[in-house]
Structure 1
Amino acid sequence: MTVIEPAPRPAPAAVPSLAARTGAVGGSPVRDILAVTARPEVINFAGGLPAPELFDRDAIAAAFRDVLAETPASALQYSTTEGEPSLRTGLAARMSARGLGTDADDLLVTTGSQQGLSLLATALLEPGDTVLVEDPCYLAALQAFGLAGARIVAVPGDADGVDPRALEELVVRERPKLFYTVPTFQNPTGRTLPAERRAAVAEAAARCGVWIVEDDPYGELRYEGERVPWIAACPGAEDRTALLGSFSKVMAPGLRLGWLRAPAALRRACAVAKQAADLHTPTLNQLAAARCLGTLDTHVARVRDVYRERRDAMLAGLATALPEGSTWNRPEGGMFLWARLPRSYDTTELLPEVVRHDVAYVPGAPFYAGEPDRATLRLCFVTQSPQEIGEGLRRLGEGLRG
């Protein structure tokens, strides 16, 4: 009997490669640090996390219960891409009361303001387009624009923020599609762009033809000083500014609720991009958040009082924690403080030693689109109590001294 051997199975072909942009854009160093420092004994100044003990859990729980009791069918159903009318109406009223006339139809609800950045990148950028950013810049914005294939150019600035003259020079030379900014209590520096510079940015954008993407997740967390109007409210910016907002820092980040205010054509393009991404932001979360708007100002005022105390505790301890010759700012609000050590220090190289002392920060280098200042670091002051901040700064000092 003849036995027929089966033919050898051919080796499987290699799967196609990943898109090149996924390799060109790295992950978030902040997320990596949070994973390394998840041990409960670590005092973590690295995250951008609001204080969980300050979440208005009772109000949020009551809002979810009421929504599910009164309108369960709509709350658990698909919704419109643009967002729930009750939430958009409430948001529009809040923005109008703060000096920027807004209708519900001017807004697109997003799954966190980070999604708004991604939608804008999809709607505005072709591979190879130039984007101007602050120096340093919010890290996840660099990721979003990088994944869109953009060429990212940093605009010089100083302790007050971007230099409008340098911005205009770069707009003329580089012909960018957009300029991205966090003008109020910026991440990572905590600085706030003065009103006169905001007006100059708007004028430059109008003269030279460029979009402004104004990101404002921290604006309601002001502890001192006078509120500065949005760039979107400045003359010349009306038809070219996309303004992003978020509930993550004032309500709860787990709700993943943000919004985008933009001119009609850009807003429609973002809505199409959102349909392809997730159809719509969760209906239940939107309806619950809309019910919380009535007491949100009272809640935010309580949060501000606590965060102000924590900021002051960090400011009080920095002189003994950081090496002689270090400098740092005094943010008027937000969540972050920016420090610069003497030039001989490299905060990326120092971080493993500091973590061994059960404390962590974020090195400044990843926030730069161009040449980084390796002696810088970002400290978040809102998550720990004043006592924990004091102990964390003591450990930080020991770690920096080696």
Structure 2
Amino acid sequence: MNQDSSIAQIAAILREELSGLRAGDRLPSSRELVRRHGVSPVTVSRALGRLAAEGRVVTRPGSGAYVSQPPAPTSAALDLDWQTVALGDRVVDASGVTVLLTPPPDGVIPLTGGYLNPSLRPDRQLAAAAARAVRRPDAWALPPLAGLTELRRWFAAQAGGDVTGSDTLIVSGGQAALTHAFRALAAPGTPLLVETPTYPGALAAAKAAGLRATAVPMDRDGVLPDLLAEAFAVTGARVFYCQPTLHNPTGATLPRERREQVLAVARAAGAFVIEDDYARYLMPRAPAPMVSMDAHGTVVHVNSLTKILAPGLRLAAVIARGPAAHRLRASQLVESFVVARPLQETALEFVGSPAWTRHLSAVTADLTARRDALAAALTARLPEAELHLLPQGGLHLWVRLPPHVSEDAVVEEAGRQGVLVSPGRMYYPSEPPGPRLRVTHVAATHLAELTEGVRRLAAAYQAVTKTS
């Protein structure tokens, strides 16, 4: 039974049980439902999510799920079928992003996710920076339309080369930056070249913008320049999206020579390179970004503070030059005017304080220890999972399963065993070459939990391969 049918079955059983309960009654705990029905915690969580969406139950974190109050009677059911015709067939698929952002159920170890565990976040220092920020005289005034001048200069200095603050635009996080860039640089219906595999959030944003993602192969050093040139020639694309530093999910980092080759290929094709530099602060010594080597306005550079600081700090910079910069700024203004000034002031306070350098040092050291612990645990307990490479930093490891193993079955059984991993297929713009998993070390609370997560994953793998 696949996961969707399991969720539907558990939801149907719970609907029937609800008929014998009163408003306010508590449902059995998630752990009890897992035991009673022999399904994974993820299945139970999503079945309860369906019932909550239907208005049948309400969930209270740390307390459980309860029967909701019945809705007030209406004269007739609301008919919304007409919207299907009015909306047309352009679907915005957020399923991959939703999976990555959904917190794990109680008792489930997350070997997935993209943000620092709360134990690694500088919450107290951010709170102190926010307190200082809101005391500034103009904290609640309208900021400059492109962002605070000092913050733009700071991001420009991080990029290096001859980048200036006037080239920089402050936006509401890296995902918003990608959305703006895709819409500004490519017309709906045109191709967008991407590395394969690639970040699912970029694929979702590209699809929402009406673009056709076209895969360009990689090796352990990143995208292959000769195949990139061929893809530009065959498709006529004018935009290439990439993550040259600690690529998600593979962990590859482009060496300088290949960065120069990618720029030369894009320049020859008259195309833009969107450089998603999301992981710049997740390794001890990040290489110079491609934008610092760019003398022709080819690179549109994205740098975010969210990954290194906190998921609630939705703030990033987009660096671009020429007409592309004008179009990006217009996109930002039309969509949301500006980024909230208190958020910008808070970021500026934090990166200008000693807490910033201390935090960088502590996080990169911790991530190195977690990476090594995860790699060692996988080698010891799950040797059948081949590690693509040991990245220089970052949050993830990319592993290949034997060809005969069902990726979906391993992911489903892992959830049943109490550990979450990301299926590889969600990272491909087209058919994946085989079963893969992305395994994350940053979301676990500590190294012991990380090791236990791998033990559960290995148990799931053994259970699947014994029955296949």
TM-score where L is the length of structure 1: 0.90
Q: What residue is the counterpart of 2:348 in the other structure?
A: 290
Q: Runs of 4+ in structure 1 displaced over 6 angstroms?
A: none
* Alignment match, 2:156: 92
Matches within 5 A, 1:383-402: 383-384=443-444, 385-402=446-463
Structure-1 residue corresponding to 2:132: 66
Name the structure, 1 or 2, with higher relative contact order (CA <8 Å, separation 6+): 1
Conserved? CA contact 1:345–1:374, under 8 Å: no
1:318 aligns with 2:386: no
Instruction: Provide closer, same or farther for how the CA distance between residues 312 and 21 of structure 1 changes in structure 2, counting only shifts above 3 A.
Output: farther
Q: CA 1:249 to 1:13, structure 2 compared with 1: closer, same or farther past 3 Å?
A: closer
Distance 2:148 2:421 in 1: 38
Q: Which residue of 1 aligns with 2:437?
A: 377
| Counterpart contact for 1:125–1:150, Cα < 8 Å | yes
Give the equivalent residue in structure 1 for 2:147: 83
Q: 1:7 corresponds to which residue?
A: none
SS class of match (2:85): coil
Answer yes or no: is the 8 Å Cα contact 2:422–2:439 preserved in 1: yes
- Please state how far the C-alpha of 1:194 moved relative to its aligned partner: 1.6
Residue 232 of structure 1 corresponds to 291
Residue 248 of structure 1: SS of its match in structure 2?
A: coil
Give, as a single letter, the amino acid of the residue that structure 2 aligns with 1:160.
Answer: D
SS in 2 for 1:70: coil
Structure 1 residue 347 displacement after superposition: 1.6
Report the Cα distance in structure 1 between the residues aligned to 2:365 and 2:116, rounded to whole angstroms.
Answer: 14
Distance 1:82 1:188, change over 3 A: same
1:236-385 maps to which residues of 2 (within 5 A)? 238-294=296-352, 295=354, 296-322=356-382, 324=384, 326-384=386-444, 385=446
**Which residue pairs with 1:3 in the alignment?**
none
Query: How far 1:309 sits from its partner (Å)?
Result: 0.7
Which of the numbers 132, 145, 154 marks the counterpart of 2:193? 132
TM-score (norm 2): 0.78
Change (3 A) 1:18 1:305: farther
Cα drift, residue 159 of structure 1: 1.8
CA contact (8 A) 1:323 1:341 kept: no
CA drift at 1:103: 1.4
The equivalent residue for 1:187 is 248
C-alpha spacing 1:302/1:397, structure 2 compared with 1 (3 Å): same
| Partner Cα distance (2:262, 2:82) in 1 | 50
The separation in 2 between residues aligned to 1:138 and 1:338, in whole angstroms, is 13
Q: Which residue of 1 aligns with 2:13?
A: none
RMSD: 2.0
1:14 maps to 2:82:
yes
Q: Compared with structure 1, are the counterparts of its residues 302 and 325 closer, same or farther at alpha carbon in structure 2 (3 Å cutoff)?
A: closer
Distance 1:189 1:144 in 2: 20
Contact 1:320 1:397 in 2 (8 A): no
Q: Counterparts in 2 of 1:162-173, with a 5 A limit?
A: 162-173=223-234
The match for 2:237 among 176, 197, 215 is 176
How far 1:13 moved relative to its partner? 8.9
Does the CA-based 8 Å contact 2:100-2:114 persist in structure 1?
Answer: no
Task: Please list every run of 5 or more consecutive structure 2 residues that lacks an aligned counterpart in the other structure.
Answer: 1-78, 464-468
Q: Closer, same or farther in 2 for the Cα pair 1:177/1:218, shift >3 Å? A: same
Give the letter aligned to residue 85 of structure 2: S
SS of aligned partner of 1:185: coil
Match of 2:269 among 200, 208, 211: 208
Distance 1:261 1:13, change over 3 A: closer
TM-superposed CA distance for 1:220, in Å, is: 1.9
Matched residue type, 2:292:
A
> What do the CA deviations read for 1:280-332 (whole angstroms, capped 9, x no partner)?
11110101110111232221111111111111100111123325363432011
